[in-house]
Amino acid sequence: MTSRQMRFLFILGGAAIASGCASLGVKPWQRDVLARQEMQLNGDPLDAAIDDHLYFSKEASSGGRTFAGGGCGCN
Amino acid sequence: MQLKPKATQPKSENARRRLIAASCALLGATAARSQQTNAAPADSGLLEDWSVDTALAYYHEDGRIMAIEPLVSLAKVFADGQAVNLNATFDSLSGSSPNGALTSHVAQTFASPSGKAKHAYTTAPGELPVDPHYQDTRIAVGGNWTVPLTRLDEVSVGAKLSDEHDFFSATVNASIAHDFNEKNTTVSFGINNEYDSLSPIGGAPVPGSDYALFEKTGGKTKNGVGALIGVTQVMTRNWLSEFNISVDRFKGYLNDPYKITSIIDGAGNTTGYEYESRPDQRTRRSAYWENRVAWNRQASTALSLRYMSDDWGVRSETAQLHVRWSFSHRDRYIEPTLRWYRQTAADFYTPFILNTVNPGGGYESADARLGPFHALTYGVKYAQKLPGLGGRADSEFSVRVEYYQQTFDERMAAPAALAGLDLYPGLKAFLVQVGWRF
């Protein structure tokens, strides 16, 4: 995937979310599936913390999902 | 006190009230779960109502570093909606760390960062120069406190401290989130401030100075500020989407104090080394998009994409996919993972310096983490529900393995005499993690 394709995807995604907010969504009694653990955005926080630390210390990028940085002298 | 008999209500009125109460309870429970499912049950002041998440990770690089990392996280939601999270991490690292110098046809001897003769080391011909005495421990503690302001707004503040023998970091963050569209849309804004203090072994090298002169000063600092704006949207009953834009800016001593760059002549001979020299500020911008979709009762996916760029010339793209398959009773699941990552090199990245040229306008680093490479991660996780402890309904045991491989994409033209040497060895590593959540 090229940078241009990636940017296009982001613009498309952002536009879809921004324009469709009012018409999207569910009623409160329709949240059964969304309540499952696998549907939580940070449902496995320790897995994410370990991965973030690994990638932060081996790559030039960090953050995105949450703040960048890492509080580690490894980079 | 005189007790009076209760007035009898008509049966139909009783039934109507019971129905209303049952509906309210159902809606309330559903809404609470949707906002915070990892937390312990609310309305309890007992310690055992904290949810506890623990993990032990073992990380091993092929011929280099190994690390053992235990983590623990405690979370609780109080009856008034406030939520607290406390976490602690311990890292123990040891092994061999690349010092940045180029592989050579002849043996190379390096001083240790401290300058002590007994820690000097020699790299055999054809081998990647690594400091074999690398050892470090890190302890980090953090906390986060979320307070609802209104039914639709909440603020969150957090802090983190991380300490190593040659590095200290303190971070604070604050964010505010607002729900609207029947809580189907959440907009959040957060800021982050990081303060880092470096006290490298032997002192912080003067950037770009001659390695042989051992020009080092005392401790150094760097500071970072960041901001993140995010939108979370419930798309359908089975689809949740999150989109974040973030920017951060770091200033100060951004060099790795232990990294050097080889200086070679036209014949490929190493004539010396110099300490790396990075700019003293860096601004990064990133866009992140995550989609979680439950395809049916068993299968769900989480796909995230990230694009990042910085003013050092690094551009990166990341795509990560988790596919979770829950078995029929939803008491266990298996989750394969695939992550693809690619980055371009920083403008001043160079694997070596030709002694006739100093590329990058004075800035230079041979740190492979600033080079052009792509990386793949393959992983799988298995989790199994077990009987709970104390009053808890259940607990969850999990085991996760990952394999990570970096491969260089572009190779700089090198003198013919260096042919046959692996100047870009890349990186292979694996991770094994066990977790227990109760």
Which residue would you say has higher pLDDT here, A4 or B117? B117
Please write the tens of the pLDDT for every residue from B345-359. 999 999 999 876 654
Q: Which residues contact B46 (CB under 8 A, 6 or more apart)?
A: none
Residue A4 contacts B, CB cutoff 8 Å: no
Q: Do B38 and A37 touch (CB under 8 A)?
A: yes
What letter represents residue B267's amino acid? A
Q: Is residue B14 included in any domain, yes or no?
A: no
Where residue B313 falls among pLDDT bands split at 50, 70, 90? Answer: very high
pLDDT value at B185 more than 80: yes
Mean pLDDT of B276-292: 96
Across B5-9, B318-322, B350-354, which has the greatest mean pLDDT? Answer: B318-322
The two three-digit tokens of residue B252, written as one number = 């100060």
* Set of chain B residues whose Cβ sits within 8 Å of the Cβ of A69: 169, 171, 192, 194, 224, 226, 248, 250
Q: Would the CA dihedral through B112, B115, B121, B123 be positive or negative?
A: positive
Q: Which residue's entry shows tokens 């998009």?
A: B289
Q: Do A24 and B231 touch (CB under 8 A)?
A: no
Give chain B's domain count: 1
Q: What is the separation, in whole angstroms, between the first and last Cα of chain A? A: 27
C-alpha to C-alpha distance for A60 and B311, rounded to whole angstroms: 12
Of A21, A28, A55, the CB nearest to B233: A21
User: What pLDDT is stored for residue B30 in this prediction?
Assistant: 35
Q: What is the ipTM of this complex?
A: 0.85
pLDDT value at B4 more than 60: no
- Lowest mean pLDDT segment, chosen from A31-35, A38-42, B159-163, B386-390: B386-390
C-alpha to C-alpha distance for A45 and B364, rounded to whole angstroms: 36
Mean pLDDT of B14-26: 42
Look at phi and psi of residue B95 and say left if phi exceeds 0, alpha if psi is from -120 to 50, else beta.
Answer: left
Where residue B393 falls among pLDDT bands split at 50, 70, 90? Answer: confident
Q: For residue B141, give the CATH number of its domain.
A: 2.40.170
Q: Is residue B431 included in any domain, yes or no?
A: yes
Q: Is residue B25 included in any domain, yes or no?
A: no
Q: Is residue B340 included in any domain, yes or no?
A: yes
* Set of chain B residues whose Cβ sits within 8 Å of the Cβ of A50: 55, 57, 69, 71, 431, 433
Where residue B425 falls among pLDDT bands split at 50, 70, 90? Answer: confident
Of B238, B286, B290, the CB nearest to A33: B238
Find residue B91's DSSP bridge partners.
B138
Q: Is residue B34 included in any domain, yes or no?
A: no
- Lowest mean pLDDT segment, chosen from A44-58, B42-56, B67-81: B42-56
In angstroms, the separation between the Cα of residue B117 and the nearest Cα of chain A is 25
Q: Do B369 and A32 touch (CB under 8 A)?
A: no
pLDDT value at B37 more than 60: no
User: What pLDDT is stored for residue B49 in this prediction?
Assistant: 79
Of B226, B375, B433, the CB nearest to A69: B226
Residue A36 contacts B, CB cutoff 8 Å: yes
Burial of residue B376 (CB within 10 Å: 0-12, 13-18, 19+) is: middle
3-state secondary structure of A8: helix
Please write the tens of the pLDDT for every residue from B106-152. 899 998 888 787 788 999 998 999 998 888 999 999 999 999 999 99
Angle formed at CA A24 by CA A23 and CA A30, multiple of 5 degrees: 125
Q: Is residue B44 included in any domain, yes or no?
A: no
Phi and psi at B64, nearest 5°, equal -130, -115
pLDDT value at B28 more than 70: no
User: What pLDDT is stored for residue A1 in this prediction?
Assistant: 56
Q: Is residue B53 included in any domain, yes or no?
A: no
Give the up-direction half-sphere exposure of residue B433: CA atoms within 13 A in the CB hemisphere: 30
Q: Is residue B20 included in any domain, yes or no?
A: no
* Best B289, B339, B431, B434 residue to mutate vs chain A (most A CBs within 10 Å): B289
CB B204 within 8 A of CB B253: yes
Q: Which residue's entry shows tokens 């990952």?
A: B402
* Set of chain B residues whose Cβ sits within 8 Å of the Cβ of A38: 292, 294, 300, 302, 324, 326, 333
- Lowest mean pLDDT segment, chosen from A45-59, B20-34, B305-319, B370-384: B20-34
Residue A34 contacts B, CB cutoff 8 Å: yes
C-alpha to C-alpha distance for B171 and B32, rounded to whole angstroms: 30
How many percent of chain B have pLDDT more than 70? 87
Q: Would the CA dihedral through B425, B70, B88, B147 be positive or negative?
A: positive
Mean pLDDT of A62-74: 76
Domain extent at residue B132: 58-437
